[in-house]
Chain A
Amino acid sequence: MSKNPEIKAVGTAFQSGSRAGENFVWLTSMGLAIGLTLVTSLLALILWEGLTVFWPQRVAVFQLVDGSTAGIAGKTTLAGEVVDYRTKVNHVIGKAFEQEYQLFVGNKDTYGFNFKFVDANAIKSKEYLNDYIVAERLENGRLIGVPVAIAMKDGSTIPANSPEFAHKLEEMVTGYNAQRAKILRIEKYRIGDINYEMEGLRLQEKGVRRRAAGDKAKEEAGLAPIREREAQLKKEYEVLAAEAKALRDGLVGNNLVLRLAGGEEYRQPIGAMLEFYYPNQLGFFGKVSMFFHRMWNFVSQDPREANTEGGIFPAIFGTFVMTLLMSVAVTPFGVIAAVYLREYAKQGVVVQLVRISVNNLAGVPSIVYGVFGLGFFVYFVGGNIDHWFFYESLPTPTVGTGGIMWAALTLSLLTLPVVIVATEEALAAVSRGTREAALACGASKWQTIQRVVLPSAAPGILTGLILAMARGAGEVAPLMLVGVVKLAPSLPLDTTFPFIHPERKFMHLGFHIYDLGFQSPDAEAAKPMVFATTLLLITLVVVLNLGAIMIRNHLRKKYAAGTF
């Protein structure tokens, strides 16, 4: 570089932004950089925290210094997964900073808590012992301990050091899992179907009584077939219930005997174990396969234990179905409104006012939409439908209560402005030449719009829909009023007639995050789930958007403007 600044200035006049008077390049690029940094660090945090949840941690065994009270119940040995190693939060000012471990110690039923903070000062030694086992179970979270033996129902035992122990335990756990699945099938589907039919019969009975209006003979005549069917169903039910009970009884009796870190003996019914592994014996590939296995369980299973354990499949499904329903509802609405505004309405003050109002609708707090949805869809529309079509079951509401359909409609109102604005833009972008070509061929105005303008505007309309979906899928507040629940007993789509149940309550990832993070009894235990759920919600939105983007690109290719 030349030392003479003037020569340098001349030489770089075309490269240097500020010399060329382009100072704002820096401003805009700074803005972009700051925005990108914030967004990527947020995403990175969610990605990291959300994914590490599934990575199997080793179990560390700590020996505490003699006489330390930092352990559990006065014991000086404790074992757990190291969650965090950090500077103590509540340290005394003026003293040196102290470090502490956060341990996931599990065994909630024995200890009364899942997490334990231990002063680094109190620790004498830390080692990873190979014989530790971690077991997922139906209740009370994970179990961490050293297996001693399997105590069979008939009194015999298989000691942990016998070669067949691990194999035998695995076999039993797998067998019991299959058995529980069978019980679930019986109780949820077959008994569920019977209950559904019983409920129908009960309503029929009510109807018959009402129509008979005190006429005994008529009432009896009407009730006879119902009674008959009821008795039949009851018999079927008893058979199934007995079957389920037998299976259930088969689950108990065989126990896994363990020694916990403090030396306590613990007996875990094997029938309540979901799976187990030796964390300190896992190699890298073992951990990787465990990672994917856990991830799969998370997305495919139902939640357990007040949602803090298990998977979130119903929430994924609910979010997905709700977002799709919303898109299906909002698109025709928005497109029709935009077509009228842009193509038919006489452009003037009134239309301009309408346009401004629509734009401002996007600024109305979402909870207000929730209140509107509750008042209009749930109470007014749903209430009236109940009155006309489901009179027999009143006062229990059938559709006059929150449900996935009402939630989807409420959110479609919320996202309507986005779709209208995007569609209007897309319509305005369709060239005059294209319209004139259609009109010159003898097409009416509507034919022109329908056959030429709308197809050309389709990619733009889809852009609006993509934005609407992203907005709608992440919305929580209004849903709480119109049908989202913490735990939904059944999905909005299932094998029970009529298969689609738009009136059912549903679970939603956004609400799940709120529920786990702020409503669960053990916030610390729920934290990993919060991140994992957030990651999933983002993934779901991305997947939905990618779907729409793919459709849009396909359309773009099809309707690409010709070039000369």
Chain B
Amino acid sequence: MSTNTRSTDEAKPLTSHPRAHNKGTSSTTTSEEGLIQWNELMPQDNPIPYIRVKDFSFFYGPKQAIFDVNMDMGKNRITALIGPSGCGKSTLLRNINRMNDLVENVRHKGDITIDDDSIYDPSIEIISLRKRIGMVFQKSNPFATSIYENVIFALRVAGRNNRKELDEVVERSLRGAALWDEVKDRLHSSAMGLSGGQMQRLCIARAIANRPDVLLMDEPCAALDPIATVKIEELMLELKKEFTIVIVTHNMQQAGRCSDYTAFMYLGKLMEFGTTQQIFTNPKVKKTEEYVAGKMG
């Protein structure tokens, strides 16, 4: 256990922020399941940590779903969360934009910061927090209006109704989501007429319309066919130039193909976190190895 703690200590030089979460991890992992932080494996292009999860635990009523997770997600990088079903990936992801606050009887311990601002800072409104964070869900959920109105929804609710601005946003976002060419002639027809893959890209366009800093994606390709999946993956590589992306995926190849860092979670705990290459080729923890090799799932 102590080695793990030390390994996070060594992360200090990587960031100018003093880190509080290096002491007292309550993890009960055995030595072979040691917790390894990405910091020591950081490649040379080490980015600035943008989203920092600090000693974070989360409870659904009496049930604890996340156990003392510490994790830094780099700016303009894609961080993939992998792990077997029910291990808390979605829970962690949905906490970043406080989506889980909607569930009754939940509580958390620890903190999450985005660009050094705590998301739980009482002076920050939850709505303005969500405006900084775009989210794409597993099941594409476009609104039953036109494609145009779908894209500008975030602007509409923010009270921005300038026609010219909206037109620009629609074009930029749809281009950003690689959908523009397919729908530019029918912007005002219903979004319900799109194919599954197009709908999901429309949801991405909607999520990035308000120019957030962070894009959260919860299994965005789970319901898509392989061709649509490839499109979205290519899109993510494009999008990371602008956004910090956190993606939950069940698809090992996908994580391998497009993420820069991968975190493996198991039973609510962060087991291993490192560059994607390291996690897939040289996992330090046995559970990770088993999972990546498809022996567990």
Which A residues form the contact surface with B (CB < 8 A)?
431, 433-434, 436-444, 447, 451-452, 455-456, 558-562, 564
B130 contacts A by Cβ under 8 Å: yes
A558 to B145 Cα, complex, angstroms: 7
A-side contacts of B157, CB under 8 Å: 438, 441-444, 447, 451
A440 to B207 Cα, complex, angstroms: 8
Report if A439-B99 is in contact (Cβ < 8 Å); known contacts: A562-B191, A562-B199.
yes
A-side contacts of B14, CB under 8 Å: none
Given contacts A433-B139, A441-B130, 10 further A-B contacts (CB under 8 A): A436-B141, A437-B143, A440-B97, A442-B157, A443-B153, A451-B156, A455-B143, A455-B144, A562-B191, A562-B199
B296 contacts A by Cβ under 8 Å: no
Which residue of chain A has the shortest Cβ distance to B94 in the bound complex? A436
B-side contacts of A434, CB under 8 Å: 141, 143
- From A433, A441, A442, A456, give the contact of B144 (CB < 8 A): A456
- From A437, A443, A560, give the contact of B192 (CB < 8 A): A560
Which residue of chain A has the shortest Cβ distance to B129 in the bound complex? A442
A sample of 19 inter-chain contacts (CB < 8 A) reads A434-B143, A436-B102, A436-B135, A437-B135, A438-B143, A438-B153, A440-B207, A441-B130, A441-B207, A441-B210, A442-B127, A442-B128, A443-B153, A444-B157, A451-B143, A560-B192, A562-B194, A562-B199, A564-B196
Instruction: Please determine whether B135 and A440 come into contact, CB atoms closer than 8 angstroms.
Output: yes
Which residue of chain B has the shortest Cβ distance to A455 in the bound complex? B144
Report if A437-B203 is in contact (Cβ < 8 Å); known contacts: A442-B210, A562-B194.
yes
Distance (whole angstroms) from the CB of A89 to the closest CB of chain B: 63
A22 to B117 Cα, complex, angstroms: 64
B5 contacts A by Cβ under 8 Å: no
A-side contacts of B223, CB under 8 Å: 564
A-side contacts of B99, CB under 8 Å: 436, 439-440
Chain B interface: which size bin? Answer: 20 to 34
B64 contacts A by Cβ under 8 Å: no
A433 to B137 Cα, complex, angstroms: 8
Report if A433-B141 is in contact (Cβ < 8 Å); known contacts: A439-B99, A564-B196.
yes
A-side contacts of B203, CB under 8 Å: 437
Distance (whole angstroms) from the CB of B82 to the closest CB of chain A: 22
Distance (whole angstroms) from the CB of B227 to the closest CB of chain A: 14
Distance (whole angstroms) from the CB of A59 to the closest CB of chain B: 62
Which residue of chain B has the shortest Cβ distance to A450 in the bound complex? B157
Instruction: Please determine whether A444 and B153 come into contact, CB atoms closer than 8 angstroms.
Output: no
B41 contacts A by Cβ under 8 Å: no
B-side contacts of A431, CB under 8 Å: 141
B158 contacts A by Cβ under 8 Å: yes
**Chain B stretch 105-156: residues in CB contact (< 8 A) with chain A:** 127-128, 130-131, 133-135, 137, 139-145, 153-154, 156
A-side contacts of B142, CB under 8 Å: 437, 562
Instruction: Please determine whether B141 and A437 come into contact, CB atoms closer than 8 angstroms.
Output: yes
A-side contacts of B140, CB under 8 Å: 562
A-side contacts of B190, CB under 8 Å: 558, 560
A-B pairs, top 8 by smallest CB distance, nearest first, are: A559-B144, A442-B131, A440-B135, A564-B196, A433-B141, A441-B154, A443-B157, A437-B141
A-side contacts of B77, CB under 8 Å: none
Most buried by A among B141, B145, B191, B223: B141
B21 contacts A by Cβ under 8 Å: no
